[in-house]
Structure 1
Amino acid sequence: MHFPDTQSDHSPSLKPSRKKPMYKIGSALRQFLQQHGREKKYLVNYTDLRRFTYSSPLKDKHGKDTMWETVSYDSRDWDYLREVLVETYAALRTEGDLTFVPQLDLARVDFCPFGNSQPFRIRIVNKFNDNYDHYYVKQADASRIYGLELEHMLSPNRITFLTSGDTLIEEHIPGIPGDVFIQQYMEDPNFNKIRFAKEFVKFNERCFVRLLGDMRSYNFVVNITPDVEDYQYRIRAIDFDQQSYEGRKNLYLCQFLKENYPLVELTLKHLNKDSIEQYQAEERTLMSFRLATSRYRLKHLLDIMHKDEIAPPEKLAQLRQELADHYHEPHFLKCASMGDVVKMHMKQTLRKSMKLLPRVRARYDD
């Protein structure tokens, strides 16, 4: 997929599904999570957090409304949650080492009534120095868990999350929200437009190869790192609800989402076609090396994903047809599940890079 193609496909109807159903964690996926230390018992339960008594709108530091509400509980529920949420934080951050629990406390619980997972954001504070950290408690969704695992294995970022029955606990991913970055940082005199354009191309490629959809600007964050005489940028996905769910191919390419058009225009202005193709090839090569280091775990996950239902049949049929047309590759039409489509698409996009890794390619083709 070339960036110039974006200019001819600004379709106003290209919108992700408004409401995606939650998919239960099957027994095979549960065993995978247990095997890799993701499943923990006796952590906080999502339904316990739903028992709040009232809520109040949460405003940002500028006094503007956010999409979050701060929730309150009666004293008995608060005392219970205070203990279990701190212990859950310890499980997430220190593998359950409770040594430091006495110096931690629950500062606040926020709730977002919008979105598929309707998450709770938990603020844990260090009583000694008032430093705080966040994590999220959500309803467990199989497609989101596949997205988190693929991000962990195939992106440059490691992801920390746990499941406990039908509850998902995720770490907070720090960074500048993409929509805020577009509004406030793109005109900064220190903003290196060329380096950011390169990162946007690579991020676009990462999402497309593993079929992570709906990467609108508010579903990713930007990290800025000072470097020799300048800055480097890293874009990180923060929402994985749309892992291999949509039927439209272009919904897996963030270059086609209208919220990202300022970034697309920046990229087309500062990078030529050859540079874009170079950066796409670089990212595919890096993904191949990441695949090499996680090949057994990835194969195990894709084998489970092959048998799992994480999208409606009509979306599966649409996506495999669009990918078959795009690559002129009829083998996509034989895919029986979204897991099959992901595996076939990774083979299609990483085949050239994986030729440099023959032993890995042979193992992956098993």
Structure 2
Amino acid sequence: MSEEKLMSKKKPAYPVHKKLDAYLDRYNRKIEIPIFYEDLLRFSGSVVVYDADGEDTLWVRVYYSDSDRKEIDMSLKQVYSILHSDGSNRILEYLNVDAVDFCTFGNSKPFRIKVRNILNDNYTYFYVKKTDASRIYGLELEHMLSPYNLNFLVYKDTLIEEHIAGIPGDVFIKDMLPKCTESEKAQLAKEFVKFNERCMIRLLGDMRSYNYVIVPVHDFDHVVYKIRAIDFDQQSFEGKLKVYRPQFFKENYKMVELVRDKLLKSSVDQYKIEERSIVAKRILSSGNRIRRLISAVKPDTISLPENIERLKLEIYELTKDMDFKKSTTMGEVLSLALDFVKRNYEDVSMKQIMEKKF
């Protein structure tokens, strides 16, 4: 299936409503910041950013008038302090804003800020985006249901996201995958199966290779590769279930090939069960936090009526759970999907307990 038919043309940004706003406030995601997304749009010019091979990165480096630059730099350093430190001004004199880049590709049109510590030249990035409720739900679900914690802030119409380090999936597949050992390829295949399952369970869509990163973790005698999502724009929006399964994007064909070549079907099934069980355990351990998030998303508008109708029927065909047919919002579909995974895990666990007891 082609990418154009798989994905909708454009996803709208959805506002943060009262219940989600209260949730963000409760869990310290809502913090006042000194600059907004709209302020960064006041740039007076830009130049194209090329990569090491001279290819267009689809980012442009923007610059501001002298009168704006000083104020913007100071505000961005304060945002860095709020995001990564205690929010005080003590560290500002040691920081420098090296670059402000703007991306016109995709829905979110983010700004990427490069901040450097002038004492040791260490640098990091963060992103400034327009607030979008579905993206916020995606970030929170990643924080709770994946192996990784996420740091982000929301204030009015501006979203600040920390940078997720790793090798972009498309770059890794093109340049590094061919050099991997056979055992590394088998391990990557396992990780892709688990990543694919995790995305489907929590309805995170559009995981084309440039929307996730490969993270090499050096163990004592080998390298283990992990896969992390970096774009949460397509959380619970699309109506086609295939959009929530990375295996169906042509950009991931090489990863699908790895799975086919390196894993037996029984191994694939085993890794899927493992991932479902891990996600179920995270749902249970998240307790009130995930319950409050689901309470906010269930009545919220984060998709189109035709998408909701199609997705709930496709998931019903997969699960045969009649509750999906009764759902009226995308938040209800998401809630049922997570509850389905949790119930199955609890049923299996109870069965095992009873078998041991008798």
Length-normalised TM-score, structure 2: 0.94
Equivalent residue, structure 1, for 2:233: 241
Report the CA distance between 1:356 and its aligned residue.
6.3
Q: Any idea what the Cα deviations from partners look like across 1:273-323, whole Å, max 9, x if unmatched?
A: 110111111111111221122121001000110110000111101100111
Shift of 1:350: 3.4
1:11, distance to aligned residue in structure 2 (A): 5.7
Are the counterparts in 2 of residues 106 and 125 from structure 1 also a CA contact under 8 Å? yes
In structure 2, the CA distance between the partners of 1:56 and 1:12, relative to structure 1 (3 Å rule), is closer
Contact 1:43 1:164 in 2 (8 A): no
Q: Tell me the equivalent position of 2:141.
A: 150
Map of 2:345 onto structure 1: 353
Residue from 292, 295, 309 that aligns with 1:300? 292
Kept in 2, the 8 Å contact 1:14–1:251? The answer is no
Tell whether 2:114 aligns with 1:123.
Answer: yes
SS in structure 1 at match of 2:298:
helix
1:42 Cα deviation from its structure 2 partner: 3.1
Which position in structure 1 is the counterpart of 2:336? 344
3-state SS of 2:280 partner: helix
Conserved 8 A contact 1:316-1:338 = yes
Alignment map for 1:224-263 (pairs within 5 Å): 224-263=216-255
- 1:37 maps to which of 21, 24, 28: 28
| Alpha-carbon separation, structure 2, partners of 1:357 and 1:92 | 40
Query: Any conservation in 1 of the 2:202–2:338 contact (CA below 8 Å)?
Result: yes
Identity of aligned residues (%): 44
2:195 paired with 1:203: yes
Kindly indicate whether residue 266 of structure 2 is the aligned counterpart of residue 274 of structure 1. yes
Compute the displacement of 1:348 (Å).
Answer: 2.1
Match 1:138 to one of 129, 134, 144: 129
User: Is the Cα–Cα contact under 8 Å of residues 45 and 167 in structure 1 kept in the other structure?
Assistant: yes
Q: Report what 1:6 is aligned to.
A: none
d(CA) in 2 for partners of 1:120, 1:265:
35
Which range moved further: 291-300 or 144-153? Answer: 291-300
Q: Structure 1 residue 332: deviation in Å? A: 0.5
- Tell me the residue number matched to 1:96: 87
Match of 2:320 in 1: 328
Q: Are the aligned partners of 2:95 and 2:117 in contact in 1 as well (CA < 8 Å)? A: yes
> 1:321, 1:291 → 2: CA distance?
24
CA distance in 1, matches of 2:310, 2:67: 51
Quick one: structure 1 residues 12 and 88, their matched pair in 2 at CA, closer, same or farther if it must change by over 3 Å? closer
Distance in 2, Cα, partners of 1:87 & 1:356? 50
Preserved contact between residue 16 and residue 251 of structure 1 (Cα < 8 Å): yes
Larger displacement relative to structure 2 (285-294 or 333-342): 285-294
Paired residues of 2:206 and 2:234 also in contact (CA < 8 A): yes
CA distance in 1, matches of 2:9, 2:86: 36
Q: Indicate if the aligned counterparts of 2:283 and 2:342 stay in contact, CA closer than 8 A.
A: no
Q: Give the Cα separation in 2 of the matches to 1:32 and 1:13.
A: 35
Q: Aligned with 2:100: secondary structure?
A: strand
Corresponding residue number in structure 1 for 2:355: none
Per the TM alignment, residue 105 of structure 1 is displaced from its structure 2 partner at its CA by: 1.3
Instruction: Mark the CA change 1:81 to 1:356 in structure 2 (over 3 Å): closer, same or farther.
Output: farther
Q: Distance in 2 between matches of 1:96 and 1:209?
A: 36
May I ask how many residue pairs the two structures share in their alignment? 349
- Alpha-carbon separation, structure 2, partners of 1:83 and 1:13: 42
CA RMSD after TM alignment:
1.4
What is the CA–CA distance in structure 2 between the aligned matches of 1:355 and 1:44, rounded to whole Å? 49
2: CA distance, partners of 1:238 / 1:169? 14
* Unaligned 5+ runs, structure 2: 351-358
Residue equivalent to 1:174: 165
Q: Within 5 Å, give how 1:214-229 maps onto structure 2.
A: 214-229=206-221
Quick check: 1:316 aligned with 2:286?
A: no
Equivalent residue in structure 2 for 1:106, among 73, 97, 100: 97
Q: TM-score, length-normalised on structure 1?
A: 0.92
In the aligned structure 2, how far is the partner of 1:13 from the partner of 1:167?
29
Deviates more, 1:245-254 or 1:280-289: 280-289
Question: Compared with structure 1, are the counterparts of its residues 37 and 189 closer, same or farther at alpha carbon in structure 2 (3 Å cutoff)?
Answer: closer
Q: Which residue of 1 aligns with 2:151?
A: 160
- Secondary structure of the 1:262 match is helix
Counterpart of 2:63 in structure 1 is: 72
